[in-house]
Amino acid sequence: MSYEIKQEGKFKFVEEGNGEPLVLLHGLFGALSNFTDLVEHFRQTNKVIVPMLPLFELDLLHTSVGGLQKFVYKFIEARNYKNINLLGNSLGGHVALIHILKHPERIKSLVLTGSSGLFENGMGDSYPKRGDKEYIRKKTQLTFYDPAMATEELVNECFEITNNRIKVIKIISLAKSAIRNNLGEELSSIKQPTCLIWGNNDSITPPFVAKEFNKLIPNSELHFIDKCGHAPMMEVPQEFNRILGDFLAKLKEPVATVL
Which DSSP letter does residue 150 get?
S
Cα-based distances in Å from 73 to 47, 51, 99, 201, 251:
18, 11, 7, 32, 23
pLDDT tens digits along 64-114 = 999 999 999 999 999 999 999 999 999 999 999 999 999 999 999 999 999
35 has pLDDT over 60: yes
Residue 247 has, within 13 A of its CA and on its CB side, a CA count of 27
123 has pLDDT over 60: no
**What is the C-alpha separation between 234 and 214, in angstroms, rounded?**
22
Q: What stretch of H or E contains 74?
A: helix 65-79
Which of 27-41, 95-109, 176-190, 245-259 has the least mean pLDDT?
A: 245-259
Between 147 and 257, the higher pLDDT residue: 147
Cβ atoms of 43 and 242 closer than 8 Å: no
* Cα-trace Rg, the chain: 18
**What is the C-alpha separation between 28 and 34, in angstroms, rounded?**
12
So where are the chain's domains? 6-120+182-252
Mean pLDDT across the chain: 92
Residue 183 has, within 13 A of its CA and on its CB side, a CA count of 29
Q: What is the dihedral of CA 29, 31, 37, 38, to 10 degrees?
A: 90
Residue 242 makes CB contacts below 8 A (sequence gap 6+) with none
First-to-last C-alpha distance (Å) of the chain: 49
**What is the C-alpha separation between 213 and 191, in angstroms, rounded?**
14
125 has pLDDT over 50: no
Q: Which pLDDT score, from 0 to 100, does residue 258 have?
A: 47
170 has pLDDT over 70: yes
Superfamily of domain 6-120+182-252 in the CATH hierarchy:
Alpha/Beta hydrolase fold, catalytic domain (3.40.50.1820)
Nearest CA among 144, 161, 139, 142 for reference residue 234: 144
Q: Which pLDDT score, from 0 to 100, does residue 113 have?
A: 98
Secondary structure (3-state) at 196:
strand
Q: CB atoms < 10 A from the CB of 221, how many?
A: 15
| CA atoms 137, 143, 144, 145: torsion sign | positive
Cβ atoms of 200 and 209 closer than 8 Å: no
Query: 183 φ, ψ to 5°?
Result: -100, 10
Which DSSP letter does residue 253 get?
S
Burial of residue 95, with CB atoms counted within 10 A of its CB: 0-12 exposed, 13-18 middle, 19 or more buried? buried
Residue 254 pLDDT level (bands cut at 50, 70, 90)? low
